Amino acid sequence: MSDPAADAIDPAPVDVSAVDPKTANVLYHDWEANRYDDKWSISFDERCISYAREKFTKVAPARKYGKVLEIGAGTGFFIVNLWQAGLVRQAFATDISPGMVEVCRRNARAVGLKNLEARAADAENLPFAANTFDLVVGHAVLHHLPDVPAALGEALRVLKPGGALVVCGEPTRLGHAIVGVARRATARAWRTAAPRSWRREENGPPSDPAAALEAHVDLHEFHPHMVRAWARRAGFHPVRIETEELVSGLFGWSVRTVEALARPGLLGERWAFFAYRNYLRLYRFDHAVTRRLVPKPLFYNLLLYAEKPRRAARRPAP
């Protein structure tokens, strides 16, 4: 997921021609790891436990799963909160960034998840035997991967027959364009109306060279039918795609843009309470009303549920 500041503040010029996407993701996310939870308001209390549970159960059955692997786990938002929600018995986590893996371990220990097995690994080449896991999950990960079909194939390989893949938080192509309009409009309005004393300093180079890679780690947005076709081609059946966040996405990304442009310390807890409560209201409005009226591809977030068949599909005789 990109930072709203990427639209609001031009990144410093950087030559990325010699940096492949995987290396860029390692360097950037290692640099970001220790500030990532604050940046994205990630927590491991009831607020984010409920959020993770709601995302998951929107597409998957609500029950306790045995061995569960998260790919691209970051700091552990999804796997740790799903464990706290009672949906995971034995948790495993991978991320291509060693820095993120270390923070994930730390967050897990802080909430009592002492047996989390976490390691740095590439989602397109997982270091696990076939037929190992009951469930594979991911949150905001596929859009960072150079070869999404390869990652789906790896998820299928490590799943047990009858196991499931659940991925949430992936940007749709049309939804991303729609919220982009809102983000740019919010940035223009902020620059026009906000007193100078309210504004974050926008000048100067990034504090670390890795920060300049931020604009180069988000590789994709998706049409829902693309992801469905890739999952089916990998061998998953059945496959289900849902989308969410239209009005709530416009509001949420406008809020994020203000937070990216405001002077640190300006907004405070009252702002955070306002933003969170109103996002939830609009999220529920989207679920109850908007999704009945608006085509799926216009919503911002894509959710995927796919099962590994219990029996291999029979190939027709030559």
Domain presence at residue 224: yes
The per-residue pLDDT for 41 is 87
Contact 310, 161 (CB under 8 A): yes
Domain presence at residue 44: yes
Q: How confident is the model at residue 206 (pLDDT cuts 50, 70, 90)?
A: low
The per-residue pLDDT for 7 is 36
Contact 51, 89 (CB under 8 A): no
pLDDT at 12 over 60: no
Q: For residue 256, give the CATH number of its domain.
A: 3.40.50.150
Least confident of 160-164, 197-201, 226-230, 283-287: 197-201
Q: How confident is the model at residue 216 (pLDDT cuts 50, 70, 90)?
A: confident
| pLDDT mean across residues, the chain | 91
Q: Which two tokens stand for residue 169?
A: 């938080």
pLDDT in tens, 15-38: 556 789 999 999 999 999 999 999
What one-letter code names the amino acid at 109?
R
Rounded Cα–Cα distance for residues 65 and 78 (Å):
14
Structural domain total, the chain: 1
Domain presence at residue 312: no
Domain presence at residue 220: yes
Return the percentage of the chain with pLDDT > 70, whole number. Answer: 90
- Of 263, 207, 33, 146, nearest to 271 by C-alpha is 263
Rounded Cα–Cα distance for residues 315 and 158 (Å):
22
263: phi then psi, degrees, rounded to nearest 5: -60, 135
Rounded Cα–Cα distance for residues 166 and 140 (Å):
11
- Of 114, 129, 98, nearest to 32 by C-alpha is 98
The per-residue pLDDT for 293 is 96
pLDDT in tens, 131-170: 999 999 999 999 999 999 999 999 999 999 999 999 999 9
Domain presence at residue 315: no
Domain presence at residue 215: yes
- The boundaries of the domain holding residue 262 are 5-307
- Of 206, 168, 146, nearest to 3 by C-alpha is 206
Size of the chain, expressed as the number of residues it contains? 318
Cα distances (Å, whole numbers) of residue 308 to 60, 147, 179, 237, 238: 14, 20, 34, 6, 8
The per-residue pLDDT for 106 is 98
Evaluate the CA torsion angle 201, 203, 208, 214 in order and state its sign: positive
Domain presence at residue 214: yes
Identify the bridge partners of residue 159 per DSSP, sorted by sequence position.
Answer: 133
Tell me the three-class secondary structure of the chain, residue by residue: CCCCHHHHCCCCCCCCCCCCHHHHHHHHHHHHHHHHHHHCCCCCCHHHHHHHHHHHHCCCCCCCEEEEEECCCCCCHHHHHHHHCCCEEEEEEEECCHHHHHHHHHHHHHCCCCCCEEEECECCECCCCCCCEEEEEEECCHHHCCCHHHHHHHHHHHEEEEEEEEEEEEEEHHHHHHHHHHHHHHHHHHHHHCCHHHECCCCCCCCCHHHHHHHHCCCCCECHHHHHHHHHHHCCCCEEEEEECCHHHHHHHHHHHHHHHECCCCCHHHHHHHHHHHHHHHHHHHHHHHHHHCCHHHCCEEEEEEECCCCCCCCCCC
HSE-CB at 155 with a 13 A cutoff on CA atoms is: 37
Domain presence at residue 246: yes
Q: How confident is the model at residue 215 (pLDDT cuts 50, 70, 90)?
A: confident
Mean pLDDT along residues 172-195: 96
